[in-house]
Amino acid sequence: MKKFVTKSILFAAPFVVLALVEIFALPLDFFTFRVWESVKVDTLKNILPGYFYPRISITKTEQGDITHHTVYALEKTVEWHTDQFGYRNRDDTRAPEIVIIGDSNTVGTGLTQSDTLSVALESRLGVRVYSFAPASLNVFLRDRQLTHDKPRVVIVATIERDVPSLRTLKPELTYPSVLERKFMELRSAIKGFRSLQGVAVPVDRLFKANMLHYYRASVRRAITMVFLHGEKIPPPKQNIPSMHFLFGDLAVQDVPPDQLERALTVVKSYNDLLKSMDIRFIFLPIPNKENIYHDLLPSKKKPVFLGQTIDAMRKKGIETIDLQSAFDEAYRRNGPVLYLPDDTHWSAEGVRIAAELLADAISGKKEGKISPKSR
């Protein structure tokens, strides 16, 4: 038995050492091409409070999510800060007056912290804006630490392609009983323990195994490149624009009417719930990159779903920001500067336009006038 245990320990030692080196010696983002993968919570979602590791500050040179590790990749240096709750905000003692619930666009993937939507809106309105992303309204309702200090405005931002699949509200979160509320508060309080977070983050990183995934990807790339392309990455084909798309023509397919109906019902339920809580609700659908730059796609087809959605939402009395018209106009005027060329997400300019429209809507100004492109 002793011999077996000794040999087992010896056999496992290299793997244990490598794991320890990754977690305790190397920087958090050592094995990732962008910050997102290095700070995202993987396994311990029920122990850590937010979507990202709490209290993280990283400056990293990133590549876009479509063309990373290729000749098309564009490098950009970004700053990331997460707060004690594990969302991309700087710690601030002030209670947030505005909360933006959204996806990776709201997080500001590919952008530095100062270019994110919450920061851009905060600088325009002078009140604290909290980026609660990526998350759904259900998660927001569950997180009692934030809903304790009730915000004045809740913005739900979502990329166009996810509008049909917006999460329906969970009844147990919408109108929780006293016991459920107490349980959620207790859960949030436990998740807030700094010492627990200090243990949970390394454990989560161990499960995430970024080093392993990095080498798996490297082996795959090496085999593919060496054998298929003779150690050379193929040069860009002629006449292909430098703008890259994740879904291409697939993103401009017609959406069935029942999906629009479903989205309407869901967003209406958000609106009604928040109204009943005396919170102002604003819906911000973000156009797909393929929607605004449809002329760069082979089909050159302009999708109509988002336009229909905005009209239908407004008819239902839901305050909706028309980013589609604003982006179309900005694209005509300034060219393709609204989205990152090598990434699925919007650029600082896209964020700036959205922030202006939101600021105007919140402060009561007439929507629709966008200032010329900032230099």
Partner 1 sequence: MLFNSVEFLLFFIGIGFVYFAIPARFRWMLLLFGSYVFYMSWEPSYAALLGLITVVNYYLAIRLGRSITVRGKKTILALTVTINAGLLFSLKYLGFFAESLRTVFHHHGVAAAIPVFSIALPVGISFYTFKIMSYTIDVYRGKLEPERNIGLFALYVAFFPQLIAGPIDRSTRLLPQFREEQMFDYRRVSDGLKLILWGFFQKMVIAGTLTIMVDLVYSKPGQYDAPTLALATLFFAFQIYCDFSGYSDIAIGIAQVFGYGSINNFERPYFSRSIPEFWRRWHISLSTWFRDYLYIPLGGSRISIPRWHVNIMIVFLVSGLWHGANWTFVVWGAIHGCYYILSVLTKSAREKTVATLGLVRLPRLHQGIQMAITFCLVTFTWIFFRANTISDAFYIVSKLFTGWGSASETAGTNTLASFVSSHFFEFCVAIVSITVMGMVHTLQVRGNVRNMLRSKPIWLRWAAYYAIVAAILLLSNFGSKQFIYFQF
- List interacting residues with partner 1 (CB under 8 A): 1, 3-4, 7, 11, 14-15, 207, 212, 215-216, 219-220, 223-224, 227-228
- Pairing mode, strands 76-81 and 57-62: antiparallel
Spatial CA neighbour of 289 closest among 260, 253, 334, 252: 252
Beta carbon nearer to partner 1, 206 or 264: 206
- Any bridge partners for residue 339, and if so which? 346
Dist CA 119 CA 128 (whole Å): 9
Half-sphere exposure of 305 (CA within 13 A, CB side): 28
Beta carbon nearer to partner 1, 199 or 222: 222
Contact 200, 47 (CB under 8 A): yes
Beta carbon nearer to partner 1, 14 or 335: 14
Beta carbon nearer to partner 1, 12 or 240: 12
Q: How far is the CB of 7 from partner 1 (least distance, A)?
A: 8
Beta carbon nearer to partner 1, 298 or 335: 298
- Residue with token string 């009844």: 171
Q: How far is the CB of 62 from partner 1 (least distance, A)?
A: 25
Q: How far is the CB of 116 from partner 1 (least distance, A)?
A: 32
Half-sphere exposure of 76 (CA within 13 A, CB side): 23
Dist CA 41 CA 260 (whole Å): 32
Beta carbon nearer to partner 1, 68 or 289: 68
- Any bridge partners for residue 13, and if so which? none
Dist CA 285 CA 268 (whole Å): 14
> What does the angle CA 291 – CA 295 – CA 300 come to, to the nearest 5 degrees?
85
Tokens of 338: 């609204």
Beta carbon nearer to partner 1, 11 or 24: 11
Q: How far is the CB of 15 from partner 1 (least distance, A)?
A: 8
Q: How far is the CB of 70 from partner 1 (least distance, A)?
A: 16
Q: How far is the CB of 224 from partner 1 (least distance, A)?
A: 5
Q: How far is the CB of 28 from partner 1 (least distance, A)?
A: 21
- Residue with token string 């040069």: 235
